[in-house]
């Protein structure tokens, strides 16, 4: 293993070094095939075996029930903002919960295709809370209810998904889980569709995952581009068009890496989740006890993946970032809409990386406090 810097990018983001090393070793010749995965036909037996294993491993990790399809698509979560209402809304009404920049964007795009109702929003508190589901103004008519279960920019996470049935709604819940997929289990009894771009916890950019309950297929509006009709994609095992083959291969290596993880008695996703809890606790504790740094999100909605934080004065930001870079702590600048700093601590960020960041945070606060 080499000693690489710790990369806190929000995405595309850090990948497990073991995965990068394996991809590098297999770059010119995948398992004696004489081909790079990039050079393989997506319909050949070699790539089909890669795709099948990737799907099986993802199903295993996330305990995806048999009546859900896994679709490997392209266009990212931003394209899904349109693809989803095209497939699910039937031109009727859809309910959206706004908890940050990404869900705000989702509901805006959906308005092109259906009648959108924002049933709850945290805009009033600057995207720092999750409005309690009991206050959501859900409609009986909604074709679906959309939430962003982890707001990457604002650092707001839903630690429990809403139980729509208990709230009196029969609509399927749709979650944009781009930035925390595979960081914790998903309660499928509460979810109709989960989607996300791969470039945070899963692999390279270019791959979008859509996991959809079968009864939600087959309702696309006639204008839906054929390549984006979920039923067409499902019926063709994600090979109606050429899928992002190399990104799927790397994602498959990441799934195997997740399966190999151990943390005490725990293994696989449970080990990953325990590590994520420990990493987030270490970092938030540093901010809470520093008397120097500030965070804005209320404790119960704090994201385990994306942690925005602020120095006492913006005039210190450049010095902070320069010092961080010198210590091998990269990409800590906050999103421009929020300002300050942001540390993204996805699955592939080791505890040692968060510890190195905390050591630097404490040191910087001592020198500038």
Burial environment of residue 121 by CB neighbours within 10 A (0 to 12, 13 to 18, 19 or more): middle
Nearest to 178 by CA among 164, 163, 157: 157
* Minimal CB distance residue for ligand PMP: 76
Beta-carbon contacts of residue 88 (< 8 Å; ≥ 6 apart): 94, 143, 144, 172, 174, 193, 216, 219
Nearest residue (CB) to ligand PMP, 161 versus 361 = 161
CA-to-CA separations, 24 to 6, 11, 340, in angstroms, rounded: 20, 21, 35
| Active-site residue, from 30, 102, 136, 257 | 102
- CA-based torsion, 180, 186, 189, 193: positive or negative: positive
The reply to whether 284 sits near ligand PMP by the rule CB under 6 A is no
Cβ pair 28, 38 in contact under 8 A: no
Q: Which residues pair with 142 in a beta bridge?
A: 93
Read off the tokens for 128.
């720092």
The reply to whether 122 sits near ligand PMP by the rule CB under 6 A is no
Read off the tokens for 104.
């705000």
102 catalytically annotated = yes
Nearest to 89 by CA among 161, 140, 145: 145
Nearest residue (CB) to ligand PMP, 152 versus 261 = 152
Nearest residue (CB) to ligand PMP, 76 versus 133 = 76
The reply to whether 308 sits near ligand PMP by the rule CB under 6 A is no
CB of 244 to ligand PMP, least distance (A): 12
Among 13, 70, 120, 148, binds ligand PMP (CB under 6 A): 148
Give the ranges where 125-235 is alpha helix by DSSP (H). Answer: 230-235
CB of 206 to ligand PMP, least distance (A): 9
Read off the tokens for 144.
């679906």
95 catalytically annotated = no
CB of 348 to ligand PMP, least distance (A): 16
Among 40, 77, 156, 175, binds ligand PMP (CB under 6 A): 77
Nearest residue (CB) to ligand PMP, 186 versus 358 = 186
The reply to whether 347 sits near ligand PMP by the rule CB under 6 A is no
Nearest to 85 by CA among 93, 74, 73, 97: 93
| Active-site residue, from 30, 69, 200, 279 | 200
Q: Which residues pair with 70 in a beta bridge?
A: 211
Cβ pair 113, 79 in contact under 8 A: no
Nearest residue (CB) to ligand PMP, 198 versus 358 = 198
Annotated binding site for L-glutamate, which residues?
Answer: 43
Annotated binding site for pyridoxal 5'-phosphate, which residues?
Answer: 102, 152, 176, 199, 241-242
188 catalytically annotated = no
Among 155, 162, 197, 334, binds ligand PMP (CB under 6 A): 197
- Please identify every residue annotated as catalytic: 102, 176, 200
- By CB under 6 A, name the binding residues for ligand PMP: 11, 76-78, 102, 148, 152, 176, 178-179, 197
């Amino acid at each position: 293993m080499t000693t690489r810097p710790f990369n806190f990018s929000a995405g595309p983001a850090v990948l497990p070094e073991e995965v990068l090393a394996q991809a590098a070793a297999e770059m010119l010749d995948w398992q004696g095939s004489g081909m790079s995965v990039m050079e393989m036909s997506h319909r050949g037996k070699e790539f089909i075996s890669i795709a099948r294993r990737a799907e099986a491993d993802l199903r295993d990790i996330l305990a995806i029930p048999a009546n859900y399809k896994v679709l490997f698509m392209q266009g990212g979560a931003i394209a899904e903002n349109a693809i989803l209402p095209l497939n699910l809304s039937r031109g009727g009404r859809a309910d959206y919960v706004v908890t940050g920049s990404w869900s705000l964007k989702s509901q805006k795009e959906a308005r092109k295709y259906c009648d959108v109702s924002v049933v709850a929003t945290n805009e009033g508190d600057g995207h720092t809370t999750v409005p309690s589901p009991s206050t959501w103004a859900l409609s009986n008519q909604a074709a679906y209810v959309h939430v962003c279960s982890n707001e990457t920019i604002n650092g707001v996470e839903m630690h429990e998904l809403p139980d729509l049935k208990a709230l009196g709604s029969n609509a399927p819940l749709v979650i944009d889980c781009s930035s925390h997929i595979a960081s914790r289990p998903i309660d499928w009894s509460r979810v109709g569709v989960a989607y996300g771009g791969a470039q945070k916890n899963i692999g390279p950019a270019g791959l979008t995952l859509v996991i959809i309950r079968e009864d939600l297929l087959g309702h696309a509006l006639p204008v839906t581009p054929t390549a984006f009709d979920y039923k067409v994609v499902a019926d063709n095992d994600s090979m109606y068009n050429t899928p992002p083959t190399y990104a799927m291969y790397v994602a498959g290596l990441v799934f195997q890496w997740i399966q190999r993880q151990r943390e005490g008695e725990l293994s696989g996703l449970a080990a990953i989740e325990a590590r994520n809890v420990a990493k987030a606790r270490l970092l938030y504790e540093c901010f809470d006890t520093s008397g120097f740094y500030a965070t804005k999100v209320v404790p119960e909605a704090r994201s385990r993946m994306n942690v925005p934080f602020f120095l006492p004065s913006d005039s210190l930001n450049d010095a902070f970032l320069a010092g961080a870079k010198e210590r091998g702590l990269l990409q800590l600048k906050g999103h421009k809409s929020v300002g300050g700093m942001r540390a993204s601590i996805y699955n592939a960020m080791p505890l040692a990386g968060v510890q190195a960041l905390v050591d630097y945070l404490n040191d910087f606060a001592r020198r500038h406090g």
